Chain A
Amino acid sequence: MIEIEALTKTYGGRPVVDGVTARFARGTLTAIVGSSGSGKTTLLRMINRLVEPSAGRVLIDGKDVARIPEVSLRQGIGYVIQGYGLFPHWTAARNIGVVPTLLGWPRSRIKARTQELLHMLQLDPAEIGPRYPHQLSGGQAQRIGVARALAARPEVLLMDEPFGALDPLIRRQAQRDLTRIRRQLGTTVVLVTHDMNEALYLGDAIAVMRDGRFEQFGPPEDIVRAPATPFVADLVGETGRALRLLALKPVGTLLRAGQAQGDPVDAAASLSDALAEMIWTGRDRLPVVDGRGQGLGIVTRDDILAAGRQAPPA
């Protein structure tokens, strides 16, 4: 768990991060959304002390990071940046192995770990491992950057616009990879992005940042359903909010007992996908199955429409 307490950074008297207090739960992905200059990158860098706070503190699992020596703190935290910053004079494999090497792991263990990570990211170790960064495609370089960050099994992974340099198709794939890896490893991730869609897609929690403060911090649903400020509403977009809301929730959350005709829908699919299927095939209820095709029940149109309705004013 990462706790941020009244964290502040000022440059020349001007606060860039202004007294932010927040808590990022273990194993979750928190997406910090904001435009450039909002202070989101500075906030991120105070977690691994690439930037030293002017005031306030950061605790990881209850330990004040200011008390951990910089070098060992950073070796224990994965960090991925937009340009990946791969070491151009080292092969992909050596790039991935950099933290284990700094930690003094034996060579054989580093090699095994590097191979394991390349496999996990669906890259062929024999083919990609010996390549230099300039011989990698954008998507491959991005995955090497992620592998390098994960090499020493960090509990915390910080990502600064990690998909910003990828074209849309590859970005989608990289986002799916991240979701899969995160589920596999249980790493706590803090991700900085300017893209609200990316945040909604990836985040368990979303912090909208502006002028060094969190304008709103909460689950994606709250952000879409009840934007706290006009700025947040603006980022989310005024139109299509109901559909966005439905895109956030899986079918499994509205499961009912019953029978329905036609092609089934996967319980992990989003409610918006289920609704689209209903519109397309003219049905008002769909059978729901689990990943193995086992029938679980049904989902109804009325339930979906209700889930997408604006919350009554509190």
Chain B
Amino acid sequence: MTALRWIVLVGMTGALVLFPALFEPVLRPFAPAGGPVIYDRATLAGLTASHLMLVMLAMVPSTLIALALAILVTRPAGAEFLPTARMLANIGQTFPPVAVLALSVPLLGFGTRPTVLALFLYGLLPIFENALAGLRGVPGSVLLSARAVGMTPRQMLVQVEMPLALPLILEGIRISVVIALSTATIGSTVAARSLGEVIIAGLTSNNPAFVIQGGVLTGCIAVLVYDVFGLLILAARRPAATARIRSRG
């Protein structure tokens, strides 16, 4: 069942990216009479690649900074920064990406940079809050033991806290990445190269076939990435999962 899901998902995404012409019969009814059915102003493979690149450029720093903040505020010395860190992450999340684009274009110019900034800010909160929950969820008795056996604070973080928080941290990254994958489409309003280009082309030329093509492909990639993270989380969780539930009970 899951194998079938993977085959369908990978097959569908691959076909949409590499052989868009295959879908012409399906999309034909949505295109205006006589108009183009398949987007051909750029290859979908190229757009997909730069779409993924946008997301990567935003998510790597977003993850690093959100994780660093979560680690900082869970240290005794950094506890007082919790409200500040929370506020920062919240502002990032509540400020609409479109508004970030509009405000940052005058400063950063058109294209990739404002888009990456918008995605970066939007991604901070889920990663931060999940990492925080993960780090705080480490049972007190385990932390006490780690101190009592003579671990340094760094050893505690690396050997105990991070591995135990990892499933939740990955969960946060997954949420942010999936949101970023769909949100990246609006980057094309400020001329960033992304799959949004196809959707916007469809909107401006009144061609729903383009909108569907761009939308479905973006959706497929998002679901695929979601599932890949699911595997990672499962792997991170395997030895510890039930143990944590028990030691809390």
Binding site for B on A (CB under 8 A): 48, 50, 70-76, 79, 81-90, 98-99, 102, 132-134, 148
B145 CB within 8 Å of chain A: yes
Complex contact B246–A87 (CB within 8 A) = no
Which of A48, A71, A81, A134 is B152 in contact with, Cβ under 8 Å? Answer: A71
**Interface segment, B27-35, B66-74, B120-128, B237-245?**
B237-245
Interface residues in B144-189 (C-beta closer than 8 Å to A): 144-152, 155, 160, 163-164
B-side interface size class: 20 to 34
Complex contact B149–A98 (CB within 8 A) = yes
Complex contact B141–A73 (CB within 8 A) = no
Binding site for A on B (CB under 8 A): 139, 141-152, 155, 160, 163-164, 239-240, 242-244, 246-247
Q: Once bound together, how far apart are the Cα atoms of A133 and B141, in whole Å? A: 13
Which A residues are in CB contact (< 8 Å) with B143?
A: 85
Complex contact B149–A83 (CB within 8 A) = no
The prevalent SS among residues of B at the interface is helix
Complex contact A87–B142 (CB within 8 A) = yes
Known contacts A88-B240, A89-B163; is-contact A83 B150 (Cβ 8 Å): no
Known contacts A84-B141, A134-B242; is-contact A102 B149 (Cβ 8 Å): yes
Which B residues are in CB contact (< 8 Å) with A82?
A: 141
Q: Once bound together, how far apart are the Cα atoms of A83 and B163, in whole Å? A: 20
Give, as a whole number of angstroms, the nearest-CB distance from A71 to chain B: 5
Which B residues are in CB contact (< 8 Å) with A81?
A: 141, 144-145, 148
Which A residues are in CB contact (< 8 Å) with B151?
A: 71, 102
Q: Once bound together, how far apart are the Cα atoms of A305 and B248, in whole Å? A: 50
Residue of B nearest to A83 (CB): B141
Which B residues are in CB contact (< 8 Å) with A148?
A: 149
Q: Once bound together, how far apart are the Cα atoms of A216 and B163, in whole Å? A: 46
Give, as a whole number of angstroms, the nearest-CB distance from A52 to chain B: 12
Known contacts A87-B160, A88-B164; is-contact A74 B150 (Cβ 8 Å): yes
Residue of B nearest to A69 (CB): B150
Q: Once bound together, how far apart are the Cα atoms of A132 and B242, in whole Å? A: 10
Which B residues are in CB contact (< 8 Å) with A83?
A: 139, 141, 247
**Can you list 17 A-B pairs with a CB-CB distance of less than 8 A?**
A74-B147, A76-B150, A79-B149, A82-B141, A83-B141, A85-B139, A85-B148, A86-B142, A87-B142, A87-B146, A88-B164, A88-B244, A89-B160, A90-B239, A132-B239, A132-B240, A134-B243
Q: Once bound together, how far apart are the Cα atoms of A82 and B140, in whole Å? A: 12
Residue of A nearest to B145 (CB): A85
Q: Once bound together, how far apart are the Cα atoms of A81 and B144, in whole Å? A: 9
Which A residues are in CB contact (< 8 Å) with B141?
A: 81-85
Which B residues are in CB contact (< 8 Å) with A134?
A: 242-243, 246-247
Which A residues are in CB contact (< 8 Å) with B152?
A: 71
Given contacts A85-B142, A87-B142, 11 further A-B contacts (CB under 8 A): A50-B144, A70-B150, A71-B150, A71-B151, A85-B144, A88-B239, A88-B244, A88-B247, A89-B239, A90-B239, A102-B151
